Structures are given as structure tokens and as C-alpha cells.
Amino acid sequence: MATAATTAARPAGRRAEAFSLGPFLLVPASLLVVAFLAAPLVVLFRYSFNRYSPREFMIDAFTLENYARFFTDAYFIGVLATTVQVAAVCTLVSLLFAYPLAYLMARTESRWKSALVIAVVFPLMVGNVVRAAGWMAVLGNEGIVNHLMLSLGIVSQPVRLMYTPFAVYVGIIAVVLPYMILTLQSVIEGIGRDVEEAAANLGAGPMTTFRRVLLPLSLPGVIAGGTLVFILCMNAYATPVLLGGPQFKMMAPALYDQFTRTTNWPFGAALAFILMTSTLVLTIVGTTVLSRRMHHRKLEAAPR
């Protein structure tokens, strides 16, 4: 509203000039996104209806057989199930782990606060490949975890940790935690401290305050962080490839294999759209369930 008022106050001539030229500033960026993201996606989508032939590579067609193959092939259904399971577990665990740190970071008045924020952002910035390399050194047969367990006499043989689902869970949770922490932190910062104090003064213990006041109020942050992290987990590539080994297949590596190993483009294209659609559907379902619960709780609380 304030903007409208100031614009109106300007001389008419200048305003007209600004209006005619301004939107054209969008042209370069929009062209780049249309030409190198939208157009390639359209091409890939079209290819997903083509027919694959080992001899002729790809035949122009309009068939749904690639999508049908996915839903009738137990192997690929299994890959999607693994992906969804990994994403769901990692989202929940990272939520549980992130909350305490996010809370302390939101509430601290220490002068180290900005250093803490940067320290959380930093691992996120060094890249997934670098972090996977670190986990390989930690979890390998000669890694630090096995070394510690052997020297403490907990085990007598090195335990296989690398190339297991466990390693993938650890790796992915470490990758997504910073996103969850930062999202939760910004939402908790927006919740007034006085609300917590009011609850405490009315006799609520810390657990009750958390469950009845803090958690419901921070639910938007939980939803936002959960959505972001779930999407990242569904699309994980480097971590499952490097820490899970060839036996452990998630959607993103399976999709990549279709283009490099089997060169079945139509099926690979179908995988890409199945991955994006299932992520979208699951995110919408999860968000709706959570926000309905939030709404429900509000109604429940109102008459009291």
C-alpha cells in the first residue's frame, strides 16, 4: 500500500517510463530458465512416452508402457519404497535432532550466536561429496568407529557399517540437519518468549510447555522444514551411491543408471516424472495431514 502511494506521488512522465521499461528486466533470467530448464523438461516428458528398442535405441511413439512397466516391476516398486522409507525416517529423525539445537539457537543471547548460525550453514556449503568422503573414513572397516569398538573390546571383528542402509541413513541425516535446524530456528525466534513464561507461571513444567505451547506454535516451521528435508531426501544421489554401495538403490541413482548403463531413455524419463510426482503427492498429503491437525487442535482449544 505504501508503495502504491509513493508511486502515485511521482511525476507522471517518469512513472510511465518506469512502467514501460521495468518488466523487461525480467527477460534475460526468464529466457535462461525457460530455455535450459522448462524446455528440457518438456523434451524429457515427451520422451517418456516413446518406445525403447535395444537396436534402434528410441522409437517415436505415444505409449504409456514405460509408466506401466514401473508399476508392474517389483524391483522398481521396491526402489521407490526404499526411497520413501529413507526419506520418511530421515525427515523424522532430523526433526527430533534438530529441534533442541534450533531452540537453543533461537533463544540464546550469546554474542556467539551469529558464529553458531554460520557454523551450521558451513557443512551444508561444503558439498555432499566431501561429506560422504568423511563418513567413509568414519564408518569403513578400518574407520574410527570400528577402531574404537575394537580397542574398547565391544566387538572382536570389525562390524560392516559401510555399504549398508545404516550408513545411508547417517549420511543423509547429516546432510539435511542444517536445513531443518535453520528453518526451525527462524520460526521459534518468532514465538515470543513471554508465551513460554506465561505457561511456566501458570504451573506448566518444561515438558508440558513444550507439548502444549511451543510445539503447536512452531508447527508451521515443522511443516516447512519437514517438506524441504523430505524433498531433499527423496532426491538424494551422492550419499546413497557412495555410502550405500551398488546393492542399495534409491530413485535418483536408479534414474541415472537408465541414462548411463542401460541407455533406456524413455524409461529413465518416466522414472524422472514418477519421482517428481510421488514427491509432490507425498509432500501435499503430509502437509495437509499436519496442518489439519493444527487446525483441529485450535478448534479444540477455543471453547475452553
Partner 1 sequence: MTTRALEAARNGAAAAPATGHARMKRRAGRWALRGLAGLVFFFIFIPVIFVLWISLFQQQIVSFPPEGYTLRWYENAFARSEFRHGFGLSLQVAFIAMVIGVTSGAAGAYAIVRFRFPGREAFNTLLLGPLVVPGIVAGTSLYVYYIMVENLLDVDFRGTLHGLVLGHILLTIPWTVRLVSASLVGLDRAVEEAAMNLGAGPWTTFRRITLPMMRPGLVAASLFSFIQSFENLELTLLLVGPGRTTLPVAMLNYLEFRIDPTIAAVASVQIVLIGALMLITDRFVKLSRIV
Footprint (CB under 8 A) of partner 1, residues 57-76: none
Cβ–Cβ < 8 Å for 145, 161: yes
- Rounded alpha-carbon distances, angstroms, from residue 53 to 18, 56, 268: 56, 5, 13
Residue labelled with grid coordinates 515438558: 207
CB 269 within 8 A of CB 62: no
CA 46 vs. chain centroid, Å, equals: 27
164: helix, strand or coil? coil
Taking the C-alpha atoms of residue 155 and residue 149, their distance in angstroms, rounded to an integer, is: 6
Q: Closer to partner 1 at the Cβ: 79 or 275?
A: 275
Q: Are 106 and 181 in contact (CB under 8 A)?
A: no
Closer residue to partner 1, CB minimum distance, 45 or 295: 45
- Residue 86, phi then psi, degrees to nearest 5: -60, -45
State which residue, 143 or 294, has the beta carbon closest to partner 1: 143
Quick check: 244 binds partner 1 (CB under 8 A)? no
84 touching partner 1, by CB under 8 A? no
What is the smallest separation between the CB atom of 293 and partner 1, expressed in angstroms?
Answer: 25
Alpha carbon distance 272, 266 (integer Å): 10
The interface with partner 1 within residues 197-216 (CB under 8 A) comprises: 197, 200-201, 205-206
Does 235 participate in binding partner 1 (rule CB under 8 A)?
yes
- By CB under 8 A, the residues from 173 to 192 that bind partner 1 are 174, 177-178, 181-182
19 exposed, middle or buried (CB, 10 Å; 0-12, 13-18, 19+)? exposed
Closest to partner 1 by CB, 63 vs 110, is 110
Question: Minimum distance from CB of 303 to partner 1 (Å)?
Answer: 28
- Given the complex with partner 1, which of 124 and 294 has the nearer CB atom? 124
Size of the site for partner 1 (CB under 8 A): 94
CB of 121 to partner 1, least distance (A): 5
Task: Scan residues 100-139 and list those touching partner 1 (CB under 8 A).
Answer: 100-101, 103-104, 109, 113-115, 117-123, 125-138
Q: Which is nearer to partner 1, 219 or 237 (CB)?
A: 237
Letters for 250-289 (x = contact with partner 1 by CB under 8 A, - = none) are --x--xx--xx----x--xx--x--xx--x----------
With beta carbons less than 8 A apart as the criterion, state whether 258 and 186 touch: no
Among 87, 98, 188, 229, binds partner 1 (CB under 8 A): 98
| Residue 298: CB minimum distance to partner 1, A | 26
Residues 1-40 that bind partner 1 (CB under 8 A): 2-3, 6, 9, 14, 17-19, 22-26, 28-30, 32-34, 36-40
Q: Name residues whose C-beta falls within 8 Å of residue 232's C-beta, 6 or more positions apart in sequence.
A: 175, 176, 179
Distance CA 188, CA 226 (A): 15
89 is an interface residue for partner 1 by CB under 8 A: no
Q: How far is residue 140's CA from residue 163's CA, in Å, rounded to a whole number?
A: 9
Q: Are 162 and 136 in contact (CB under 8 A)?
A: yes
